[in-house]
Structure 1
Amino acid sequence: MTKTWVFFKLRMLQLKYDKTAVLFSYIFPALMLLGLGYMKSGEGTITVYYHEADTPQAIVEQLSVNKVIKLTPLYNTSKDVKELIRTRAIKHFLSVSKTENDSPSFTVLHSARVENDVESSAVDGVLRAILNGDASTGLNSHKIHGGGSRLGYLQVILPGLIGMTLLIVGLNGFGHVLIEEKHRGLFKNIKTITVSPAPFLTGLFLSRMLISYTVVALLFTIAIFIFDVSPKVNYGLLALIVTLGAISFLGLGLMLATISPTVQAFTGMVNFVQVPFIVLGGVFFSITAFPDWLHSFAQVIPLTRMNIAMQKIMFPGPGMGLQEIRSEVIVLSVWCVGTLAVSYRRFSW
């Protein structure tokens, strides 16, 4: 325990002089949250989803001439649209059907949350203005109740930036540090003082876990005081998901370090893993619009599961509890055990 504490203090002292680590762990994510949060909160276009197969292209082109609403295909057709609205995945959905006299009839489903009333009225107004020339065309507007108290791009970007930062800490702040120190001969030097790998790795591991917790605290605090996110969340579940997510990413970084023959090979592996994780993990946009096959693939990525769980915890709906994030806990736990097991078998001093 004494040796572990010594290595932990050395790692924290090392961070004190590592300006790059401070920049990418704290300053960069905070600036991105502030910038994207403000930018997206005031954007003018309103996204309205529709099923591409059920909506004639001529109607899509007719409705796309305006600059207020943006029609976006919803490729994930396996889920009920009303359920997507209730769970805050989307806010507006347009469907087109035929009436008895074979005229098109439009139905718009909106989220019933109070903060979406202005957007809902704007969507209805734009559609009615466009369709006004055809008296036979009907427009029905309905509100779907359910879900949490706040919705918006912040619901995607806040958990996404937290997850992305923890991923970077795991891959670059843990795995890259280890393989670089190994190839510099540090492992051989430490072996001369008869120290086992356990306290050395544990000290680095705990220092990165501390960084992960403080990153979450920083970004969530910014969201509370700047963007009025409610602080009334289940902090026990939040700590559980952050812990599992951080361990998954640290384990992944360690695993890549143990199987990489060189620093250059590790960098290539990190790029191969990190970019798809961020794109498919729902960091900057919701994965709701993904095609079914891609959506299913994204569900096995730990970053995706962590972001989904944090969305549910930070923006809770009625009855939010452990059961609501059960699948996310299972997937993250499997990643924790799997990456650490492979690392244990592959690591050499």
Structure 2
Amino acid sequence: MKNRYSQFTALNAITKASFRAIFKSPQTLFFSILFPLVFILIFSAFGDGKLNPFTIGIDKNSDTSNVVYRAIKNHDAFHIIDVTDTAKTTKLLDAGKIAGIINIQAQADSSQPYILNVLYTNASDIQVARMYPVLQNISYNLNNSLGIAKVDIKSNRREIREYKNIDFVLPGQIGFSILFATLFGVAFTFYNLREQLVLKRFFATPVNKLTILIGIGISRIAFQLLSVIVLIVIGHYFLDFTLVNGIFTVIDMLILTVIMLFLLLGVGLIFSSVVKTDTTIPLFINIFSLPQMLVSGTFFSTAVFPGWIQKASLVLPLTHFNNAMRQIAFEGASLVSCWQEILVLLGWTVLVYIVTIKLFKWE
């Protein structure tokens, strides 16, 4: 009598083999574990579970030798920055990146010995409305602990051009769009051209290798520039996106976009050369793009993160692209005044193409 084939043995073998295959798949591990873990770490870092501190400056003429200043400095609700650079401080105020500038002065009147004046703009209306109760609470605590009468809190509101939500959102979405569209487009295009032996067939023609790269690169840049123009036009005419200098602002934004696109073309060429199968292309793209999408000021300000993440984000090219785009659009900055951001992008570009030259494969 023949032994019956054990289905359990087959099931066990198939299960083990499938389980091993899962752990050998980098895409599965990335999207099942690493991808959500990164999101958890990033979003849990929003103020470490606390309210985001109010970023303020202390006026250079302020009295910083008194208990009111020390109480504000030591309070978790405030983050004090240097405001000695007047031009930079004005830009921060106008963009609503700082809640205000505080000036504390001692008074001869012993019944109300201190006046605290908050200079702010309409860009910080919401922040200041939330900050006032905190200042009043500090005054109340000083009165209880030290017997100091209530601090006289005053405000000086300066009206400026309104910094709307779209002025932050649209530049970030432009960066997000060209980042993923360019990387996916270039990486898959060159991988498929290589795998389908199209590039090899080109070698049988008088077409120069560099001509192939330039041709595909120009088409990709042209398409992405067209999409950026569409986003800017819709944003400006339908959503009231600010273009301070009109068409000249648009031109500067497009030039900056070309620099970023040229950088991303190189990254896409690297990915198309190092992958073994086309299924791993999204993995490489997400490893490169995910940190930038989350911490480069694409969807929300980097101010929501702890200081170490804010500093780390300065290494990423998308951070500088987003910052420069917002400065050009809303503040009317020129490409020259954005030289630091452009220098970082050019540095990344040089590094990327050095790697591209070493890794790029034609066959």
Give the aligned partner of residue 347 of structure 2: 334
**Deviation of the 1:283 alpha carbon:** 0.3
- Find 1:273's aligned residue among 285, 288, 308: 288
How far apart, CA to CA, are the structure 2 residues paired with 1:196 and 1:186?
14
Q: 2:175 aligned with 1:163, yes or no?
A: yes
Q: 2:96, 2:124 within 8 Å by CA — same for their partners in 1?
A: no
Residue 91 of structure 1 deviates from its aligned partner by: 4.9
TM-score when scaled to structure 1? 0.66
Relative distance call for 1:88 and 1:268 in structure 2 (3 A) is: same
Match of 2:199 among 166, 180, 187: 187
Task: Tell me, yes or no, if structure 1 residue 112 matches structure 2 residue 121.
Answer: yes
Q: Is it true that 1:203 corresponds to 2:215 in the alignment?
A: yes
Alpha-carbon distance change, 138 to 290 in structure 1, aligned in 2, over 3 angstroms: same
1:291 equivalenced with 2:306 (yes/no): yes
TM-aligned CA deviation for residue 238 of structure 1: 1.9
Shift in alpha-carbon separation, 1:225–1:54, aligned structure 2, 3 A: same
The whole-number CA distance in structure 2 between the counterparts of 1:49 and 1:90 is 10
How far has the Cα of 1:164 moved from its partner?
0.8
In structure 2, the partner of 1:241 is 256
* Matched AA of 1:90: K
The answer to whether the aligner puts 1:302 opposite 2:317 as a matched pair is yes
Q: Are the counterparts in 2 of residues 255 and 343 from structure 1 also a CA contact under 8 Å?
A: yes
1:346 aligns with 2:351: no
Q: Distance in 2 between matches of 1:262 and 1:95?
A: 58
Query: What is the TM-score normalised by the length of structure 2?
Result: 0.63
Alignment partners' CA distance in 2, 1:87 and 1:279: 25
Q: Which moved further from structure 2: 260-269 or 276-285? A: 260-269
Identity %: 19
1:110 and 1:284 map into 2 onto residues whose CA distance is 28
Structure-2 change in CA distance of 1:277 and 1:202 (3 Å) = same
> Which residue of 2 is the match for residue 85 of structure 1?
92
Asked whether 1:261 is paired with 2:276, we answer: yes
Give SS of 1:313's match: helix
Contact 1:224 1:231 in 2 (8 A): yes
1:49 aligns with 2:87: no
- How far off its partner does 1:342 sit? 2.1
Distance apart, 1:294 and its partner CA: 2.2
| Cα distance between partner residues in 2 of 1:133 and 1:302 | 46
| Structure 1 residue 80: Cα displacement | 4.0
Is there any run of 5+ residues in structure 2 with no aligned partner, and where? 1-50, 57-70, 144-148
Matched, 1:149 2:161: yes
- Structure 2 partner of 1:4: none
Q: CA deviation at 1:301?
A: 1.2
Match of 1:224?
236
User: Who wins on radius of gyration, i.e. which is larger?
Assistant: 2
Query: Which residue of the other structure, out of 298, 311, 316, is the alignment partner of 2:326?
Result: 311
Distance 2:361 2:135 in 1: 68
Write the distance in 1 (CA, Å) between the matches of 2:254 and 2:331.
15
CA–CA separation in structure 1 for the residues paired with 2:93 and 2:186: 39
Give the AA of the match of 2:121.
Answer: A
- CA 80–291 in structure 1, closer or farther in 2 if over 3 Å, else same: farther
Q: How do residues 5-154 of structure 1 correspond to structure 2 at under 5 angstroms?
A: 49=54, 54=73, 56=75, 74=79, 79-80=82-83, 83=89, 85-86=92-93, 88=95, 90-92=97-99, 109=118, 111-113=120-122, 119=126, 122-123=129-130, 136-138=149-151, 140-143=153-156, 149-154=161-166
Q: 1:239 to 1:122 in 2, by over 3 A?
A: same
| Paired letter, 1:215 | S
Aligned length: 282
Structure 2: which amino acid aligns with 1:111? Y
Measured in 2, the distance between the counterparts of 1:139 and 1:124 equals: 15
How big is the alpha-carbon RMSD for the aligned residues of Structure 1 and Structure 2?
4.0
Residue identity matched to 1:263 = D
Which amino acid in 1 is paired with 2:321?
Answer: M
**Amino acid paired to 1:166:** I
